[in-house]
């Protein structure tokens, strides 16, 4: 239809259709028969998509908008356009169409008030939304045009969500929320971020152009999911790169979890109703994912998962039979054959849960729920395992949560940052990845120096000025990271790293350094005296000690570890041998280290060692000499009592004569108080 006749026709409609719906009929189109035929063709094409099973809203919308160019004053047409937008990435774009439909004729489509309420709700117009919800007649589930069908109970739920939204918006949390930028986000949907504990690596799921199989989902007209990876470069992320084969396939592939050290990844695939797989980083490339097994994967939908900090327990989401309702969160030991355990009614609701993430502290669970007190859709909550039970879930508040779905939230080990996906105005695509910076309670009358520095380098979407409604988990974690190398050649080593509870002597977890780079990362929740043992065939073990009392604040420690080969003259410090102050009595926490030394001697029959004791310079030199000798003899005595021939061992006390650090500092004196062994024969 030529532009000028169409314009004259629209002006005619505007003059005759005030506050009334104009039908697509000959009477209303007059002599414009071509325009009527073209509009009807568009409407027919739209109906084929709109009433498909399932509806194809994305394909219907262009036809509906084309028909609206001929007649913008049809109430039912505006409702359908609004409905399509509500099923799109730009949901709030539905609002003007639904407002117009209600003004023209709210009775033309029985869904008008409800859909208008949804658009107002998603726009955070709480009072107006509640008014429209109260005007909406309940529709039965059999009404094919409603997707999903809504009932009186659902309307009451939405009314409560609006009330919750009002309360949370009145007390916003103090955060910066920043779009992660074009390095991570695209014009498509980007979501499901997972980060290593030190925030050096991030992996995301994306439905962007260039997907591995190039396929599109006909219901949403969006590309199939692929996994992308990026690295932190000091000030920004590197451009996200498609992982390619063998991780990404022609089907859906989504990242749902990452081990704290970034060496293992959990992957979702769309086959078998939705299953969880695991892949490991073999040097620089990810290996082919393998299914996690029948205890975790069923014919039901397993959608997301998270490792515990020690990597031994998996928290995952499934809609398998026997749950509370919808999707529930379960946990299962990755060792043994015990069945998964439902986290119970404190966490799971009839509304459904998604996106479980166990924080690096090992006790704070973050998850999304539409069954707890949300402001609409999925909101993010946290619950803490305390005294043998989960604390009541707390909504993370506004502006972290919005009236739309907010899911797949993860935190850094420091607790300073969170990452999640959200649909927000001003995004680069349908869904974007956002980074949250938690500012903590307000410190009037001025911002701290740290906050001023943050304010100078970040461009927040919104910053509040009130104390937070809920605090993110206090970072009671120490991150130990570095590189394992050969002491002589400095070449990186693929080594095992045992994490040991010195109080019990039990191995908590075993990690590995990267096979190519030698890099490692271990997350240490506070409240434990840890022994760290690094071992590799052909090398002497290396030990470290981290005694972290309950409540110890976040720290990040870089420790490069050179492993030494078994050669005569090699000296190894035994950092997990403990004595009472001023005494030569071995404490029980020493047992694991002593057993390790006993094992080394048993497996190497020709090996002979000198046990050496050292002290700092506090006190009389003669007393220090005597103490160091008695401590070395205590270690020898333990070993001979446990089957090692006395002829293979000797004891030497060096007192304060061989310091390895200045005695002028507390740390230096601590390093000088040590027990070592030296290889005297092999």
Which CATH number is 384's domain given?
Answer: 2.120.10.30
Encode pLDDT of 173-218 as tens digits: 999 999 999 999 999 899 999 999 899 999 999 999 988 888 888 7
Confidence of residue 282 (pLDDT cuts 50, 70, 90): confident
Look at residue 464 and tell me whether its pLDDT is greater than 50.
no
SS3 338: coil
In order of 101, 135, 262, 535, the CA distances from 108 in angstroms are: 8, 14, 56, 75
Same domain? For 257 and 133 the reply is no
**Shared-domain flag, residues 148 and 195:** no
pLDDT (mean) for 350-371: 93
Mean of per-residue pLDDT scores for the chain: 88
Task: Indicate whether 259 belongs to any domain.
Answer: yes
Question: Residue length, the chain?
Answer: 682
- E-strand ranges in 158-232 read 175-179, 190-195, 201-206, 216-217, 222-223, 226-231
Q: In this predicted structure, what is the pLDDT of residue 4?
A: 39
- Please tell me whether residues 114 and 194 are part of one structural domain: no
Give residue 600's pLDDT band: very low, low, confident or very high (50, 70, 90).
very high
How many structural domains compose the chain? 4
CATH number reported for the structural domain that contains residue 518 in this entry: 2.60.40.2190
Q: Classify residue 447: in a domain, yes or no.
A: no
Domain end among 373, 391, 417: 417
pLDDT confidence band for 489 (50 / 70 / 90): very high
Contact residues for 675 (Cβ-Cβ < 8 A; gap 6+): 573, 574, 577, 611, 612, 613, 614, 631, 632, 635
Q: Are residues 71 and 152 in the same domain?
A: yes
Q: What is the pLDDT of residue 165?
A: 97
How confident is the model at residue 469, as a pLDDT? Answer: 39
Does some domain include residue 422?
Answer: no
Q: Are both 153 and 292 inside the same structural domain?
A: no
Q: Kindly state whether residues 82 and 144 are assigned to the same domain.
A: yes
Helices (H), 193-280: none
Residue 329 near residue 385, CB atoms below 8 Å:
no
Q: Give the residue from 565, 581, 606 where a domain finishes.
A: 565
User: HSE-up of 127 (CA within 13 Å, CB side)?
Assistant: 0
Domain containing residue 631: 567-682
């Amino acid at each position: 239809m030529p532009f000028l006749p169409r314009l004259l026709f629209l002006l005619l409609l505007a003059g005759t259709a005030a506050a009334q719906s104009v039908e697509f009929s000959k009477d209303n189109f007059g002599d414009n028969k071509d325009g009527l035929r073209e509009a009807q063709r568009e409407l027919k094409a739209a109906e084929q998509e709109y009433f498909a099973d399932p509806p194809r809203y994305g394909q219907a919308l262009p036809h509906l908008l084309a028909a609206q160019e001929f007649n913008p004053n049809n109430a039912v047409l505006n409702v359908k356009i609004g409905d399509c937008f509500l099923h799109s990435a730009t949901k709030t774009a539905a609002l003007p169409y639904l407002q117009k439909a209600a003004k023209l004729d709210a009775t033309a489509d029985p869904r008008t008030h409800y859909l208008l309420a949804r658009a107002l709700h998603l726009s955070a117009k709480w009072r107006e939304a509640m008014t429209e919800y109260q005007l909406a007649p309940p529709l039965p589930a059999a009404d094919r045009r409603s997707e999903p069908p809504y009932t009186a109970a659902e309307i009451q739920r939405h009314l409560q969500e609006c009330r919750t939204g009002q309360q949370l918006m009145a007390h916003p949390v103090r955060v910066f929320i920043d779009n992660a930028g074009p390095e991570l986000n695209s014009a498509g949907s980007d979501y499901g971020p997972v980060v290593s504990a030190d925030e050096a690596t991030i992996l995301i799921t994306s439905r962007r152009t260039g997907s591995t199989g190039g396929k599109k989902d006909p219901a949403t007209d969006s590309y199939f999911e692929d996994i992308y990876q990026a690295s932190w470069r000091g000030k920004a992320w590197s451009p996200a790169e498609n992982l390619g084969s063998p991780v990404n396939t022609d089907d859906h592939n989504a990242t749902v979890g990452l081990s704290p050290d970034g060496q293992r990844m959990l992957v979702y695939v769309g086959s078998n109703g939705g299953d969880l797989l695991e892949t490991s980083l073999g040097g620089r490339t990810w290996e082919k994912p393998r299914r996690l097994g029948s205890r975790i994967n069923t014919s039901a939908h397993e959608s997301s998962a998270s490792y515990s900090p020690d990597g031994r327990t998996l928290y995952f989401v499934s809609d398998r039979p026997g749950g509370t309702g919808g999707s529930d969160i379960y946990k299962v030991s990755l060792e043994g054959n015990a069945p998964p355990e439902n986290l119970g009614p404190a966490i799971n609701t009839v509304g459904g849960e998604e996106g479980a993430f166990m924080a690096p502290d090992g006790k704070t669970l973050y998850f999304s729920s539409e069954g707890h007190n949300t402001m609409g859709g999925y909101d993010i909550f946290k619950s803490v395992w305390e005294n043998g039970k989960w604390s009541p879930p707390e909504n993370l508040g506004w502006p972290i949560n919005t009236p739309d779905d907010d899911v797949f939230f993860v935190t850094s080990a420091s607790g300073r940052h969170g990452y999640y996906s959200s649909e927000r105005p001003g995004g680069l695509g349908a869904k974007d990845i956002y980074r949250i910076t938690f500012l903590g309670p307000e410190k009037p009358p001025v911002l701290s120096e740290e906050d001023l520095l943050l304010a100078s380098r970040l461009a927040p979407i919104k910053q509040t000025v009130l104390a937070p409604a809920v605090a993110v988990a206090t970072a009671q974690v120490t991150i130990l990271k570095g590189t394992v190398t050969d002491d002589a050649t400095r070449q990186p080593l693929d080594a095992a790293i045992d994490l040991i509870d010195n109080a019990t002597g039990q191995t908590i977890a075993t990690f590995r350094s990267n096979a190519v780079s030698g890099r490692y990362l271990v997350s240490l929740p506070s409240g434990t005296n840890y022994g760290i043992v690094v071992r590799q065939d052909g090398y002497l073990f290396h030990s470290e000690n981290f005694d972290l009392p309950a409540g110890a604040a976040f720290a990040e420690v870089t420790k490069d570890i050179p492993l030494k080969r078994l050669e005569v003259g090699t000296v190894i410090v035994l950092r997990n041998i403990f004595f009472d102050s001023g005494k030569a009595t071995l404490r029980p926490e020493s047992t694991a280290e002593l057993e390790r030394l006993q094992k080394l001697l048993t497996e190497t029959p020709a090996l002979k060692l000198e046990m050496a004791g050292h002290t700092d310079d506090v006190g009389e030199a003669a007393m220090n000499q005597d103490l160091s000798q008695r401590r070395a003899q205590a270690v020898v005595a333990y070993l001979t009592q446990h089957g090692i021939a006395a002829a293979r061992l000797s004891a030497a006390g060096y007192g304060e004569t061989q310091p390895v650090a200045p005695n002028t500092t507390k740390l230096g004196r601590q390093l000088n108080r040590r027990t070592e062994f030296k290889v005297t024969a092999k």
